[in-house]
């Protein structure tokens, strides 16, 4: 048997299970413990798949045991419970919307209050500036008046 360089097949006369990959490293066959681990993992996943399919078969068998009337009654019960669940979801949704509206109203009240406070602060600052200007004018006029009195 002949093999090309870099091939995974052993060349003629080779009895070892190692080959060279494209990077020049030697490939070695997995150890028996590694093979056993891989087999266990594969078996676990296969067992899970089998369990799921068995469960599905059991459910199908149980459904097939029902008479037509029992089956219809079961379906009606399921639909009724689903209807109740959707009704509860709608009620919860309406409550959430009401809470959201209350929160929006509270936020707008807070904004209005803050705007009122801010306008009062601005008015107070304006009044303070006017008073400071008056004090400055008074202080400027007083020294001139005092100088005139001293002379």
In a domain, 9, yes or no: yes
Q: What integer pLDDT is reported at residue 13 of this predicted model?
A: 47
- Domain around 15: 1-30
In a domain, 17, yes or no: yes
Model pLDDT for residues 84-111, shown as the tens digit of each residue: 889 999 999 999 999 999 999 999 999 9
In a domain, 145, yes or no: no
Q: How far apart are CA 85 and CA 78, in angstroms?
A: 11
Q: What integer pLDDT is reported at residue 59 of this predicted model?
A: 72
In a domain, 11, yes or no: yes
In a domain, 55, yes or no: no
- The proportion of the chain whose per-residue pLDDT surpasses 70, expressed as a percent, equals 60
In a domain, 67, yes or no: no
Burial (Cβ within 10 Å: 0-12, 13-18, ≥19) of residue 126: exposed
In three-state secondary structure terms, 76 is helix
Q: How far apart are CA 138 and CA 145, in angstroms?
A: 10
Residue 39 has pLDDT above 60, yes or no: yes
In a domain, 24, yes or no: yes
**Stated pTM of the model:** 0.41
Q: How far apart are CA 115 and CA 117, in angstroms?
A: 5
The number of folded domains in the chain is 1
In a domain, 6, yes or no: yes
Residue 7 has pLDDT above 80, yes or no: no
Model pLDDT for residues 125-145, shown as the tens digit of each residue: 999 999 999 999 988 887 665
């Amino acid at each position: 048997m002949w093999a090309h360089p870099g091939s995974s097949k052993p060349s003629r006369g080779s009895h070892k299970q190692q080959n060279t990959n494209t990077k020049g490293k030697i490939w070695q066959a997995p150890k028996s413990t590694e093979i056993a681990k891989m087999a266990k993992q594969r078996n676990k996943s296969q067992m899970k798949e089998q369990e799921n399919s068995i469960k599905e078969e059991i459910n199908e068998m149980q459904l097939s045991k029902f008479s037509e009337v029992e089956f219809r009654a079961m379906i009606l019960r399921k639909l009724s419970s689903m209807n109740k669940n959707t009704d509860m979801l709608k009620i919860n949704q309406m409550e959430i919307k009401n809470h959201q509206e209350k929160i929006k109203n509270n936020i707008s009240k807070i904004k209005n209050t803050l705007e009122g406070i801010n306008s009062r602060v601005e008015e107070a600052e304006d009044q303070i500036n006017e008073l400071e200007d008056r004090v400055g004018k008074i202080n400027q006029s007083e020294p001139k008046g005092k100088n005139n009195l001293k002379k």
